Amino acid sequence: QVQLQQSGAELVKPGSSVKISCKASGYTFTSYDMHWIKQQPGNGLEWIGWIYPGNGNTKYNQKFSGKATLTADKSSSTAYMQLSSLTSEDSAVYFCARVGRGFDYWGQGVMVTVSS
């Protein structure tokens, strides 16, 4: 069965960077876009961007251009998102989600807390 297993919670300092992962299993990793979505506490969902692991193509929400960098490792079927120059506004839960029939599979989410 399809599973997206995300890395654990992160507590990071302002101004630093963090890289979170999303390990896919149960399907052909290189055949589907992987999207990343942000959810701030008590808020709705915000689309960050996607990567197509088959060729590494990416597309970003302009709002996150320069903030988020999406990569993928085909050998380990893992997608990554690096967030840079972190501020308190980046404290949120970050989800990865496969897009097949819409956003059909989601990771469990990674809580990133930015605090000194």
Residue ranges in contact with other proteins by CB under 8 A = 35, 44-47, 49, 59-63, 95, 97, 99, 101-109
**Checking DSSP bridges between strand 68-73 and strand 78-83, what pairing results, if any?**
antiparallel
Contact 21, 83 (CB under 8 A): no
Q: Whole-number minimum distance, CB 4 to other proteins, in Å?
A: 9
User: Dihedral, CA atoms, 76, 94, 96, 24, nearest 10 degrees?
Assistant: 30
Which tokens sit at 90? 């980046």
Q: Whole-number minimum distance, CB 106 to other proteins, in Å?
A: 4
Q: Which CB atom, from 1 or from 116, has the smaller least distance to other proteins?
A: 1
Check residue 44 and report its DSSP letter. Answer: -
Which tokens sit at 78? 């893992």
Q: Which CB atom, from 13 or from 59, has the smaller least distance to other proteins?
A: 59
Q: Whole-number minimum distance, CB 38 to other proteins, in Å?
A: 10
Q: Which CB atom, from 29 or from 60, has the smaller least distance to other proteins?
A: 60
